[in-house]
Amino acid sequence: MFSLLVLLLSLMLSNNVVVYGNLINHNVNQLGSINGCDLFKGRWVYDDDASDYPLYDSSVCPFIEKQFDCLKNGRPDRDYLKYKWQPSECNLPRFNATEFQNKLKGKQMMFVGDSISLNQWQSLTCMLHAADPQAKYISKRIGPTSIFTFPKYNTSYLMHRNAFLVDIIMENNETRVLKLNSLSSADEWKKMDVLIFDSWHWWLHTGRKQPWDLVQDGKSTYKDAPRLTLYEKALNTWAKWVDSEVDTTKTKIFFQGVSPDHDNLVSLGGSNTCVGITQPLNNTEGVHEEELVLEKVLKGMNKQVYLLNITKLSQYRADGHPSVFGHGGHRDLDCTHWCLAGVVDTWNLLLTALLG
Ligand SMILES: *[C@@H]1O[C@H](CO)[C@@H](O)[C@H](O)[C@H]1NC(C)=O
Ligand SMILES: *[C@@H]1O[C@H](CO)[C@@H](O)[C@H](O)[C@H]1NC(C)=O
Ligand SMILES: *[C@@H]1O[C@H](CO)[C@@H](O)[C@H](O)[C@H]1NC(C)=O
Ligand SMILES: *[C@@H]1O[C@H](CO)[C@@H](O)[C@H](O)[C@H]1NC(C)=O
Ligand SMILES: *[C@@H]1O[C@H](CO)[C@@H](O)[C@H](O)[C@H]1NC(C)=O
């Protein structure tokens, strides 16, 4: 029982995550639009005002992970830092870190998910730190949770590594059981004021990268099933928990849409990875099934949950990945995560706008 999934952690630190991303969705149940303007519909425009973008200088973010620190890793081009998301019918409000911190005063915001959640959490903490570099911050880690606090503002931004949301538990004799009906971390989540969930990429892993041996689904136990089916069942467990246990007038809930990767890109015509791409794409691919599954589950919920509909806008940004400037060059190509500063900062601008 206690031998819970600590083993998962090390696995999740690996970066070779496969994402078949695609669009769909902003406000599943309400919101997503501000005064009738759909923030997720728009285009990327080059903003050459030096004071606008990037939103921070990654070299002044001392806690940034190497894998996201593309400039330091030698990325030579910089246009990717200068694109601003322009909604079709309104402007995305500028980020004001002081206002953000004041809004969160005395509160706790937690990201729950895989390394794409980590990417967004780091973006947000860099944005906040860069705006007030003198403000002390405390960063610590307790088990699977990283806790970043700014005592000056009394705000906490947490990152809980949890790729499946549901549990993986070690049972008799080294059998790792994926429990589709169990959310042992939920009590910890419930204490938060804002939660941003994410799950998908790890559902695709098979073989050595699959961190479980058996699936337990209600009273039955089996070896495997189509991954979309498992994903939907797990999301339903999560949705049922939100609907029955979470007071969403106190805890605001977001779900991060599927983050698209750029491997095997038909739209790149010929070049099938993100290597060497320095400008946003003009076209995106279509909708993928996992996004539809997520949308379906969210739409079936009673409580108010916001979908951060970042899929399509990120699909344009094949230029935004670390490529060979993440972990270790061509042998560890990364067309999945996002350079910081970069695309994910925009996700946080959208999150800020939806927080109200
Ligand atoms: C998500 O945003 C895209 C781009 O605007 C849009 O086409 C799609 O319909 C949105 N999804 C939902 C569920 O609103
Ligand atoms: C940010 O918001 C604060 C408080 O509303 C305001 O005093 C400050 O001028 C704003 N900063 C910028 C750069 O707009
Ligand atoms: C800071 O926020 C916490 C809640 O996260 C609250 O319990 C505490 O009293 C606050 N401290 C101050 C000094 O406001
Ligand atoms: C656990 O597995 C090992 C090797 O597969 C076997 O030798 C041992 O008897 C098993 N122990 C139990 C308690 O099932
Ligand atoms: C997108 O279109 C613009 C304007 O037509 C062009 O300059 C640019 O090269 C195109 N981008 C790509 C990646 O094809």
- How many angstroms is it from 37 CA to the middle of ligand 2? 24
Q: What is the pLDDT of residue 3?
A: 39
Asked if residues 34 and 292 have their Cβ atoms less than 8 Å apart, the reply is no
Q: Is 132 a catalytic residue?
A: no
The ligand whose atoms approach the alpha carbon of 93 most closely is 2
Q: What is the pLDDT of residue 271?
A: 58
**Closest residue by CA, ligand 5 atom 12:** 281
The ligand whose atoms approach the alpha carbon of 157 most closely is 3
DSSP 204-266: G--GGG---SEEEETTEEES---HHHHHHHHHHHHHHHHHHH--TTTSEEEEEPPPP--SS-G
The ligand whose atoms approach the alpha carbon of 309 most closely is 1
25: alpha, beta or left? (left if phi > 0; alpha if psi -120 to 50): left
- How many angstroms is it from 25 CA to the middle of ligand 1? 4
Q: What ligand 5 atom has the least distance to the C-alpha of 281?
A: 13
Q: What is the pLDDT of residue 107?
A: 98
- How many angstroms is it from 106 CA to the middle of ligand 3? 5
**Does residue 7 have a pLDDT over 80?**
no
Tell me if the pTM is above 0.85: yes
CA dist 211 and 205 (Å) reads 8
**Closest residue by CA, ligand 4 atom 14:** 173
- How many angstroms is it from 167 CA to the middle of ligand 5? 45
Residue position matching structure tokens 């099934």: 289
Residue 247: Cβ within 10 Å count: 8
Q: What is the pLDDT of residue 34?
A: 60
Q: How confident is the model at residue 331 (pLDDT cuts 50, 70, 90)?
A: confident
Q: What is the pLDDT of residue 327?
A: 84
The ligand whose atoms approach the alpha carbon of 280 most closely is 5
69, 114, 198, 334: the catalytic one is 334
Q: Virtual CA dihedral for 174, 180, 185, 190, nearest 10 degrees?
A: 180
- Round the average pLDDT of the chain to a whole number and report it: 88
Q: What is the pLDDT of residue 33?
A: 57
Q: What would the pLDDT profile of 112-124 be if each residue is shown by its tens digit?
A: 999 999 999 999 9
Q: What is the pLDDT of residue 287?
A: 85
CA dist 356 and 353 (Å) reads 6
- Angle formed at CA 166 by CA 340 and CA 118, multiple of 5 degrees: 10
Q: What is the pLDDT of residue 23?
A: 24
Is ligand 4 within 6 A of the CB of residue 173?
A: yes
33, 115, 117, 323: the catalytic one is 115
Q: What token pair was written down for 128?
A: 């906040």
At residue 145, what are phi and psi to the nearest 5 degrees? -115, 130
- How many angstroms is it from 148 CA to the middle of ligand 3? 15
Q: What token pair was written down for 124?
A: 């947000």
Q: What is the pLDDT of residue 9?
A: 34
Q: Which residues contact 142 (CB under 8 A, 6 or more apart)?
A: none
Q: What is the pLDDT of residue 197?
A: 98
26, 129, 201, 337: the catalytic one is 337
CA dist 348 and 219 (Å) reads 40
Q: What would the pLDDT profile of 216-254 be if each residue is shown by its tens digit?
A: 999 999 999 999 999 999 999 999 999 999 999 999 999
**Closest of 22, 20, 27, 33 to residue 299, by C-alpha:** 27
CA dist 253 and 303 (Å) reads 9
Is ligand 1 within 6 A of the CB of residue 309?
A: yes
**Closest residue by CA, ligand 4 atom 2:** 173
Q: What ligand 3 atom has the least distance to the C-alpha of 156?
A: 5
**Closest residue by CA, ligand 1 atom 6:** 24
Average pLDDT over residues 135-154: 97
Q: What would the pLDDT profile of 60-96 be if each residue is shown by its tens digit?
A: 999 999 999 999 999 999 999 999 999 998 999 899 9
Residue 330: Cβ within 10 Å count: 9
Q: What token pair was written down for 9?
A: 């952690």
Q: Is 337 a catalytic residue?
A: yes
Q: What is the pLDDT of residue 18?
A: 23
| Beta-strand relationship, 138-142 and 145-150 | antiparallel
Residue 47: Cβ within 10 Å count: 16
Q: What is the pLDDT of residue 57?
A: 96
CA dist 154 and 90 (Å) reads 32
Q: Is 58 a catalytic residue?
A: no
Residue 281: Cβ within 10 Å count: 17
**Does residue 159 have a pLDDT over 80?**
yes
328-336 contacts, C-beta under 8 A, 24 or more apart:
330/275, 332/15, 332/16, 333/273, 333/275, 334/15, 334/16, 334/67, 335/261, 335/262, 335/263, 335/273, 335/274, 335/275, 336/15, 336/16, 336/17, 336/18, 336/19, 336/116, 336/201, 336/259, 336/261, 336/263
Is ligand 1 within 6 A of the CB of residue 252?
A: no
Q: What would the pLDDT profile of 28-60 be if each residue is shown by its tens digit?
A: 334 455 667 889 999 999 998 888 899 999 999
CA dist 248 and 33 (Å) reads 19
- How many angstroms is it from 71 CA to the middle of ligand 5? 24
CA dist 253 and 352 (Å) reads 13
